[in-house]
Amino acid sequence: MGMTDDQLDLVFGALADRTRRAILAQLSRADTNVAGLTELFDMSQPAVSKHLKVLEVAGLISRTRQGTMRLSHLEAEPLKDATSWLADYRTYWDESYRRLDDLLTRMD
């Protein structure tokens, strides 16, 4: 349980938006600047900046300056924290239910 309630709310809130998930997918391939994202997603620069702000507050990205360029970089750790509990839950129930399948075929 690496994250607090509030942090998880921020992460899940940030992930709830399709465009922000697409931005994260892009950043998983390469660090990208705002202009690059603006072009890739066919959105206005303020709209992209707004999404980046939400992702940054959630700790999902960091921004670094390289000369005049400000690059966004994916921070994978919070994403891992936020999804690992779900993977555990899924494993538990998938295994339980496969056993229930088997039991149901043996019941009168």
Partner 1 sequence: MNTLNQDATIEVPSGTHEIRITRDFDAPVDKVFRAHNDPELVAQWIGPKYLENVECTFEARHGGTWTLIQRDPDGNEHGFRGVVHGDPTPELSQRTFEWLGMPGHVSFETMRLEDLGDGRTRVHASSVFMSVADRDGMAESGMSVGVNEGYERLDELLATL
Name the residues that contact partner 1, by CB under 8 A.
Answer: 1, 3-5, 8-9, 12-13, 16, 84-105, 107
Q: CA neighbours within 13 Å on the CB side: how many for 8?
A: 12
**Nearest-angstrom CA–CA distance, 56 and 61:** 5
Q: In the bound complex, what is the minimum distance in angstroms from residue 62's beta carbon to partner 1?
A: 24
> Cα-flanking dihedrals φ and ψ of residue 65, to 5°?
-100, 130
Cβ-based nearer residue to partner 1, 42 or 108: 108
Which one, 42 or 102, has the nearer CB to partner 1? 102
CB of 67 or CB of 103, closer to partner 1: 103
Q: Which two tokens stand for residue 74?
A: 């994916």
